[in-house]
Structure 1
Amino acid sequence: MNTKNLTLMALLISVGAALYLVIPGYGEGMKPDFMLTMMFIGIFLFPDVKSVFLLGATTGVLSGIFTSLPGGFIPNVIDKFITAFVVFAVIVLLRKAANHLILSIIIACCGTLLSGTIFLFVAIFVIGVNIPFGFLFITVVLPAIAMNGLAFFIIYPIITTLLKRTSFKTALSN
């Protein structure tokens, strides 16, 4: 892992954090987590265990700090960490096919579904959120899947095109 890669991962997460902060909340003040989208892009670009660990941990901590849900720090850390490694496993299993935009978007949407589901289960069963799972799933997770899928569709091709013109060593340059 070199400094260039660490810098790019930090930039991705910081752009995700900035997007997360400016997007207004909905459905009990919850909002889609664009840091998740940037984490997925980072995993696609740097599919190795160290990078995934850093991306998952950093995204989880920052999402936990910025969450609008009281007590949401722990659910954010848990869900981002698990989701990062599940998405990493899927990308490794589908290495060649995962480079296609449509499959990448599907992986990102499934990752958002997994992340949202884990977050809600932890929030409901560990910290005792008194809102029904189904209501939160429909009003928060499903719109987040759509928004993260759209954001991934727009941002990922831009980043991949830019990186092909640079000296960064990513999964795209191999």
Structure 2
Amino acid sequence: MKIKNMILTSVLLAMGFVLHAIVPGFFGMKFDLLLTFMFIAIMINPSIKNTLLAGLLSGILTAMTTTFPGGQLPNMIDKVVTAFIVLALVKVLMNVKSDSVKSGIIGFVGTVSSGMIFLTSALLIVGLPAPLGILVTSIVVPTAIANTVITVIVYKTAVMALGTRKPVLD
């Protein structure tokens, strides 16, 4: 893995971490902007090494800032597993011409996957403060919709900033 790719992933995750920490939640829902930037890092550099790096770093960073009681381990599990789901999505959607469609699908499916993995692991490890179905419909789905829009916008911006439409491959 090239140093410039690791630096790009680290910068994207740092931006996501800062935004994740300072953006307030709305109506009991907090957008996981670090998750969005993890998606972008994987879409730009879809390698196994980068996916592992992005997943581990995202897991550590969200574990440090979680407001969910006992959510540290579920965050670590969630981000690593979600990173590899996103990598699989990137590979499956590689031939999709529209960046907006591709990034939108990845944003939505990735966020729903992340939410479900987090809630399931939290349920098994520490328990949930409300029934799973209520948490999915009131937090996961609205967050997925918001993250989809944010992912499309941020991906387009990142592609313009990098001056490339093609993923950076090792």
Is the TM-score greater than 0.5? yes
- 1:41 aligns with 40
When the two structures are superposed, what TM-score results if normalisation uses the length of structure 1? 0.89
Misfit runs of 4+, over 2 Å:
25-28
CA contact (8 A) 1:160 1:172 kept: no
Q: TM-score, normalised by structure 2?
A: 0.91
Question: Secondary structure in 2 aligned to 1:120?
Answer: helix
**Contact 2:46-2:90 at 8 Å conserved across structures:** yes
Matches within 5 A, 1:80-95: 80-95=79-94
1:1-26 CA distances to partner (integer Å, 9 max, x unpaired)? Answer: 22211111111101111111112134
Pairing 1:1-174 to 2, within 5 Å after superposition:
1-26=1-26, 31-97=30-96, 100-164=99-163, 171=167
> Identity of paired residues, percent?
36
Structure 1's 38 and 101: CA in aligned 2 closer, same or farther, altered over 3 A?
same
**Cα distance change, pair 99–54 in 1 and its aligned pair in 2 (3 A):** farther
Q: SS of the counterpart of 2:73?
A: helix
Cα deviation for residue 140 of structure 1 reads: 1.4
Separation in 1, partners of 2:97, 2:56 = 23
Whichever residue aligns with residue 14 of structure 2, its letter is S
Whole-angstrom CA distance in 2 between matches of 1:164 and 1:27: 37
| Consecutive unaligned residues in structure 1, runs of 5 or more | none
Point out where structure 2 has 5 or more consecutive residues left out of the alignment.
Answer: none
CA 1:173/1:148 → structure 2, altered by over 3 Å: closer, same or farther? same
Partner Cα separation in structure 2 for residue 76 and residue 15 of structure 1: 18
Rounded to whole Å, the distance in 2 between the matches of 1:122 and 1:98 is 35
**Rounded Cα–Cα distance in structure 2 between residues aligned with 1:78 and 1:98:** 32
Q: Structure 1's 33 and 160: CA in aligned 2 closer, same or farther, altered over 3 A? A: same
Deviates more, 1:126-135 or 1:12-21: 126-135
